[in-house]
Amino acid sequence: MKRSMGKVTVISILFLLAAVTTGGAAEMTSANVYDVCPVVTPTVQLIDDAGVLDLNLVDAAMYHWREGWWKLENSQVVIKRNEVSGHFDMTQKLVEPFVREVFFTEGNEPADAYVLQDEALDLIDQLGVPMEEVGRVSVKRIMDQAEDEFGGVGEPTTVNFVVFVHREIDGLPVTGSHAKAAFSPEGELTALTIKWRNVDRQSRQIAMLKSSATLERSGRDICAQLHQHSETPLSLYYGTEGYSEASANTAQEQFAPQYLFRCADEEGPVFFREIDAVESNIP
């Protein structure tokens, strides 16, 4: 029997630590504040979602699951919507127990990564994600190897693809908000997650921001306080203005500008933090 020799990520994103600097960059003095749109009733939204995904509803059942989630499932697929945030989740059911060896057959010709990227974007568009808020899109092709019949290392094969869609509002990053789609080597959608509260563009207000110096000073103070969790002093990295989306079951009325930053050293853990960046609202 063939045995897995471990996974490697062929296409990946590398983050290099770089200290915060502001030299030569124009300081951001204002940004927009948006109201969050009301969430569509999950029992209604899930029917629409099923139509987008072309799901057979003949044998489907809908029910309140847990912690604010509603679930619609048939014999093959489960889709869920959160009644607080509108977050979406879809997973394929496994009819038979998962067997890794199915991926190690000869002639494993994986789907085109760029085709899958386009398919993922088309799906999240139909499921309510505004395309003007789509930021960077990355595709990871997950590879694996198996032992051959003689106990040696076999040819690498594709296990799956993961398409990750980052969110931006007015060109600013949004933490806690993204879409992620997983595809089989043959290009079949196996899972889809959308954490993407819709904002009301007509509700836009302008807010004056705290100075970069003030925000960086506050960030450095927080990093210093986190020193107790690290063996070495933590420095401020990747400070930038942006937005932050709350977790699925946490109510959120507005997207207001935040200062997003990381506290880290060259070898220790990385702590992600955000603080309010608004100085005052412009009437």
pLDDT tens-place string over residues 250-279: 999 999 999 999 988 877 678 899 999 999
Model-wide pTM > 0.85: no
What is residue 110's predicted lDDT score, i.e. its pLDDT?
A: 66
pLDDT of residue 55: 92
Average pLDDT over residues 25-38: 90
- What amino acid occupies position 40? V
User: pLDDT tier at 96 (50, 70, 90 boundaries)?
Assistant: very low
Give the pLDDT band (50/70/90) at residue 143.
confident
What CA–CA distance (Å, rounded) separates 277 from 279?
7
Reply yes or no on whether the pLDDT at 48 is more than 50. yes
34-59 burial code (b ≥16 CB/10 A, e <16): bebeebeebeebbeebbeeeebeeee
Domains along the chain with CATH numbers: 10-37+199-283 (2.40.128), 38-198 (3.30.310)
Give the end-to-end CA distance of the chain in Å, rounded to a whole number.
70
User: Which value, to the nearest 10 degrees, does the dihedral of the CA atoms of residues 41, 43, 49, 51 take?
Assistant: -130
Task: To the nearest 10°, report the CA torsion of 122, 128, 132, 138.
Answer: -50
* Least confidently predicted of 81-85, 101-105, 131-135, 207-211: 101-105
Q: How many CA atoms lie within 13 A of 273 on its CB side?
A: 23
Residue 204 three-state SS? strand
> In whole numbers, what is the pLDDT of the chain averaged over residues?
83
Least confident of 22-26, 97-101, 224-228, 278-282: 97-101
Average pLDDT over residues 158-177: 93
Residue 12 has pLDDT above 60, yes or no: no
